[in-house]
Amino acid sequence: MPNTIVKKKGLIPGRVSEMIISAPEIATKARPGNFVVLRLSPQGERIPLTIADTDPQAGTITIVYMVLGKTTAMLEKLVQGDDILDVCGPLGKPTRLDKVGTVICVGGGTGIAAMHHIAKGHHRVGNRVVAIIGARSKDLLLFEKELASFCDEVLVATDDGSYGHKGFVTEVLAKRLAQDAHVGEVVGVGPVPMMRAVAETTRPFKVRTIVSLNPIMVDGIGMCGACRVTVGGKTRFACVDGPEFDAHSVDFDELMRRLGSFREQEQASYNTYCECHG
């Protein structure tokens, strides 16, 4: 069955888009925390994207992606009605959804869309969900309305102060943790420096903290080793052992180093693609 793009919406024009894709089996099986691996052409690379939402009745999944390099630029060229060659999933371990009382879900950039599905899961099991979302400025903020439809509170931080707290999400998080001794869990999804900062903010409060890691992935099923991360001194494959891990045990330095391993090749590949396709 073809994976047709049922709907496409530019969230930040030319930079971040949302796609609703026909994928009935994935929509039925996917749980918060799962991701898919897409391939756009027979020789193309495989890229992992988080399942931001599902509609099992309609047989669709939602993805939200930022245009960063060649494959996401190719994806951005597709329009409603086009087919995606392969959509493989649901992959990864689903989020552990324990009833813990209050859960604070922190999201930054496109990580907000990924966090949205996790936050929804916590809401469904009866947790009180506080979302803290951040962006550089108000126009770059994603999913505020969607989160507000089920979260108990949505707190916003922007770097330039154009909306909500002026500063980082972690400042809002620290203030909240100092005021509320009953937070059972914190979840952080976003750029690696943000997830590391979330881990350092919650560490003194001794709150269980989960981050969703985004190392380079190839097969997404535990065979190639590309997504190797170190957690608590042990090697883990993020695609099958994660992508969610205990934030206080992650080796973020190694993750940053490994994410940057192919930057030159990625840039060259993107430049060639842009020269050929405008």
Residue ranges binding ligand FES (CB under 6 A): 217-220, 222-227, 237, 239
| Footprint (CB under 6 A) of ligand FAD, residues 177-216 | 214-216
* 3 class by beta-carbon count within 10 Å (0-12 exposed, 13-18 middle, 19+ buried): buried
- Binder of residue 237, out of ligand FES, ligand FAD, none (CB less than 5 to 8 A by kind): ligand FES
Task: Give CA separation, 15 vs 8, 78, 85, 96, 119, in Å.
Answer: 13, 14, 22, 31, 24
3-state secondary structure of 130: strand
Closer residue to ligand FAD (CB): 104 or 189: 189
Could you tell me which stretch among 63-71, 141-149, 151-159, 228-236 binds ligand FAD (CB under 6 A)?
A: 63-71
Cα separation of 263 and 2, whole Å?
33
In 2-140, beta strands by DSSP E: 3-12, 16-22, 35-39, 46-50, 53-55, 60-66, 83-84, 86-91, 102-108, 128-135
Closer residue to ligand FAD (CB): 51 or 132: 51
Residue 270 binds to ligand FAD (criterion: CB under 6 A):
yes
Strand partners, 156: 133
- Structure tokens of 91? 């992959």
Give Dmax over CA atoms of the chain in angstroms: 56
- Structure tokens of 60? 């669709």
Least Å distance, CB 205 to ligand FAD, is 27
Cα separation of 79 and 56, whole Å?
22
- Binder of residue 222, out of ligand FES, ligand FAD, none (CB less than 5 to 8 A by kind): ligand FES
Closer residue to ligand FAD (CB): 47 or 147: 47
Residue 69 binds to ligand FAD (criterion: CB under 6 A):
yes
- Binder of residue 224, out of ligand FES, ligand FAD, none (CB less than 5 to 8 A by kind): ligand FES
Closer residue to ligand FAD (CB): 46 or 208: 46
What is the CB neighbour count within 10 angstroms for residue 149? 10
Query: Is 227 annotated as a binding-site member?
Result: yes
- b/e burial code for range 24-50 (CB count within 10 A of at least 16 → b): bebbeebbbbbbbbbbbeeeebbbbbb
Closest CA to 216 of 256, 247, 250, 189: 256
Least Å distance, CB 216 to ligand FES, is 8
Residue 273 binds to ligand FAD (criterion: CB under 6 A):
no
Residue 263 binds to ligand FAD (criterion: CB under 6 A):
yes
Query: Is 224 annotated as a binding-site member?
Result: yes
Closer residue to ligand FES (CB): 2 or 222: 222
Residues of each annotated binding site for [2Fe-2S] cluster: 224, 227, 239
Residues of each annotated binding site: 224, 227, 239
Q: Which residues bind ligand FAD (CB under 6 A)?
A: 35, 47-50, 64-66, 68-72, 110, 113-114, 214-217, 243, 259, 263, 266, 270
